[in-house]
Amino acid sequence: MLAIPVVFLVTLMVFSLMHMLPGDPATVILGQEATPEAVAALRAELGLNKPLPVQYFDWLSGVLHGNLGNSLVDHTPVAQLIMERLPATIELTLGTFIVATLIAVPAGILSAVRPRSLTDYSGTLFALCGMSVPHFWLGMMLIILFAVKLGWVPASGYVPFFDDPLGNLSAMILPIIATGLRESAVLMRMMRSSLLEALQADYIRTAYAKGLKERLVILRHALKNALVPVVTTSGLVVAGLLGGLVITESIFSIPGFGKLIVDSIFNRDFVTVQGAVLVSALLIVLINLLVDILHFIIDPRIKSGKEVG
Amino acid sequence: MSRTAADSVPTPDQTQTRRESQWEDFFRRFARNKLAVAGAVIFVFLILTAVFAPWISTHDPIYDQDYSAILQSPGHNHLLGTDDLGRDTFSRLVYGARLSLEAAVVSVGIALVIGVPIGLVCGYFRGFWDEWIVMRIVDAMQAFPSLILALAMAAVLGGGFGNAIIAIGIGFIPSFVRITRSQVMSVTNQEFVQAARAVGANDWRIMFLHVLPNSLAPILVQTTLAMASAIIAEAGLSYLGLGAKPEEPSWGSMLNVAQGYLTIDPLLAFWPGLAIFLVVLGFNLLGDGIREVLDPKLDR
């Protein structure tokens, strides 16, 4: 329900972006050397001659019909450009999320069940370092080690998965590890603290008192309740990746959604920037909505309005 | 100036004594937290490096170019080697501390100055404007991935270090509004605020003298953690070429230059990244430490 005004405000903000350009947007886009005819043509193409509210509703109507405008560089529809770039970003996001979860969940559980042990301290240190390391630098260090020194994988480039699955995996493994390690640190901390809290609950003491084995108590009772905040954090991680991958894609020359934004900024292609920023924000609203739905599925108490915890 | 009865809720002496003992308690617990102290040491080291950069550096970070000594390994004349224009890497790293500190302080400062008063007023008064206007704008702003928002704003405002940190700061505003608002909402319900109201203190006095000082703990933690994010974001934007110019000794722009020489001189990329990592680690340790000190339940 609250997503509707948010989406409306998002469209308003993205629309305003173009109008925040200092001076006449057409002149800013084309540069000071542009002829008055070229500026007038671009103004007409972008509808800048109309009153601002009319411009907004024209643009919004186009967006609702899937028309995000045409690139100022080669006049390709922006929606088509985004659709071409999304698969690489989605693959990178999924890969990162899988790597992050595979590291974070077991590490978080081990840390939580043995608090203040060597395992716990090692996990905490890993998480702190993982959260502090700039993933673009980690990406460079991985390139130096695995691509330059050892020559195991290519330093950069991208092959679509269905064209060459092995080539695709060898090109994607470094960027996935570079971003996955960082995100695993965030998830691991949440897994640890959430499971620690769950393990102190009365029902866990009851489960132990019934004589259940530790493994069963943790996996069947505590973990399920500890997952709610982890799912929320996972949603935030996936949403954050849309922004974080901008730099990863640039380092590894992956033609993804983030690189489209960066390239468009340098090409002064503000129509593409506008469309891509809108899509990124709408994707995040969608991810947040999916996380809410997942909460209902994992924890029925949320559906019935009872307090969690 | 005459004092109203509201000033004595609780009595100034009692408040003063309570605050002093709270601060003493805070510092005592902080000093016992080794990781937090390590974070504070890194933070102080960053400040000292930034302040004394002209005395610590051995060369001018921009103008001392030696084309006969490009991409040199660490050695006698150049502690950490040289870059593609023969500039001293150590000196550029030292001056980079200034830009990183500036990015952290200014961008988080912007977010604090705008976000905290909005959160304070919204959390205290609540109502239609808070629920349906301000918080929905905050939601909408948080729908944008932070780096993409910063990129888009840097694109609109134009590249450059100054615009990059303004863009980063604007991106932080929603989180400060949200944190301040939720903390203010919980503090406003406490008895001492109701007592202040009962003796006739006006809303603005209650907000700034009673509610805000008691809401500062989570804002302080968020400030420290946001500074860590700001340093990474500035480095990221500069790496992409939308922050500091390549000649400026920003750690991000140093990484941008180093990317072209990964096969020839890997160390050129190693040092600025290590500096970012250590400083961000320091801020994260400090933030975590302050949080643990303020909320002992977390320390288990």
Interface of B with A in 2-41 (CB under 8 A): 35
Sort out which chain B residues have CB atoms less than 8 A from A126's CB and list them: none
User: Which span out of A235-244, B138-147, B271-280 was modeled with the highest average pLDDT?
Assistant: B271-280
pLDDT band at A309 (very low <50, low <70, confident <90, very high): very low
Q: Is the pTM of this model over 0.90?
A: no
Report chain B's C-alpha Rg in angstroms.
23
Sort out which chain A residues have CB atoms less than 8 A from B141's CB and list them: 13
DSSP per-residue letters across A148-171 = IIS--S-SS----TTT-HHHHHHH
Residues 6+ apart with CB under 8 A from B292: B33, B36, B298, B299
pLDDT band at B27 (very low <50, low <70, confident <90, very high): confident
C-beta atoms of B137 and A9 within 8 A: yes
Calculate the alpha carbon distances from B135 to A4, A7, A274, A283, B177 in Å.
13, 13, 23, 20, 9
CB atoms within 10 A of CB B291: 19
What are A269-307's pLDDT values in tens digits? 888 988 999 999 999 889 888 888 887 787 776 655 554
pLDDT band at A308 (very low <50, low <70, confident <90, very high): very low
pLDDT, greater one: A222 or B16 = A222
Calculate the alpha carbon distances from B139 to A145, A302, B145 in Å.
41, 21, 12
Q: Which one of B147, B149, B242, B271 makes the best mutation probe of the A interface by having the most chain A beta carbons within 10 Å?
A: B147
Interface of A with B in 3-22 (CB under 8 A): 5-6, 9-10, 12-13, 17, 20-22
Mean pLDDT of chain A: 87
Q: Does position B143 have pLDDT exceeding 60, yes or no?
A: yes
Q: What is the mean pLDDT of residues B162-172?
A: 92
Question: What is the reported pLDDT for B11?
Answer: 60
Interface of B with A in 108-167 (CB under 8 A): 132, 136-137, 139-141, 143-149, 151-152, 154-158
Residue B145: which of A128, A193, A284 has the nearest Cβ?
A284
Q: What is the mean pLDDT of residues A52-71?
A: 90
Q: Is the peptide bond before A77 cis (omega within 30 degrees of 0)?
A: no
Spatial separation of the C-alpha atoms in residues A126 and A146, rounded to whole Å: 21
Residue A261: which of B139, B148, B277 has the nearest Cβ?
B148
Q: Which one of B136, B137, B148 makes the best mutation probe of the A interface by having the most chain A beta carbons within 10 Å?
A: B148
Q: Does position A35 have pLDDT exceeding 90, yes or no?
A: no
Lowest average pLDDT, out of A7-11, A46-50, B103-107, B251-255, goes to A46-50
Phi, psi of A77 (to 5 degrees): -60, 135
B264 touches chain A (CB under 8 A): no
Question: What is the reported pLDDT for A47?
Answer: 79
pLDDT band at B76 (very low <50, low <70, confident <90, very high): confident
What are B190-214's pLDDT values in tens digits? 888 989 989 988 999 999 998 999 8
pLDDT band at B9 (very low <50, low <70, confident <90, very high): low
Lowest average pLDDT, out of A230-239, B60-69, B177-186, B276-285, goes to A230-239
Q: Which one of A132, A133, A189, A272 makes the best mutation probe of the B interface by having the most chain B beta carbons within 10 Å?
A: A132
Q: What is the mean pLDDT of residues A111-130?
A: 90
Mean pLDDT of chain B: 88
C-beta atoms of B155 and A270 within 8 A: yes
Residue B239: which of A136, A138, A282 has the nearest Cβ?
A136
Question: What is the reported pLDDT for B5?
Answer: 47
- Determine which helix (DSSP H) or strand (DSSP E) holds A298, and give its type and residue range: helix A270-298
Question: What is the reported pLDDT for A138?
Answer: 95
Question: What is the reported pLDDT for A68?
Answer: 92
A121 touches chain B (CB under 8 A): no
pLDDT, greater one: A43 or B198 = B198
Question: What is the reported pLDDT for B14?
Answer: 62
What are A148-176's pLDDT values in tens digits? 999 999 988 899 988 999 999 999 999 99
Domain regions of chain B by residue span: 2-294
Calculate the alpha carbon distances from A191 to A194, A195, B291 in Å.
5, 6, 18
B281 touches chain A (CB under 8 A): yes
Question: What is the reported pLDDT for B1?
Answer: 41
Sort out which chain B residues have CB atoms less than 8 A from A12's CB and list them: 140
A134 touches chain B (CB under 8 A): yes
Question: What is the reported pLDDT for A16?
Answer: 87
User: Which span out of B108-117, B215-224, B238-247 was modeled with the highest average pLDDT?
Assistant: B108-117
B234 touches chain A (CB under 8 A): no
What percentage of chain A carries pLDDT values higher than 70? 95
Q: Which CATH class is domain B2-294?
A: mainly alpha
C-beta atoms of B277 and A277 within 8 A: no
Q: Does position A191 have pLDDT exceeding 80, yes or no?
A: yes
Q: Does position A220 have pLDDT exceeding 60, yes or no?
A: yes
CA distance A165 to chain B (A): 27
C-beta atoms of A137 and B269 within 8 A: yes
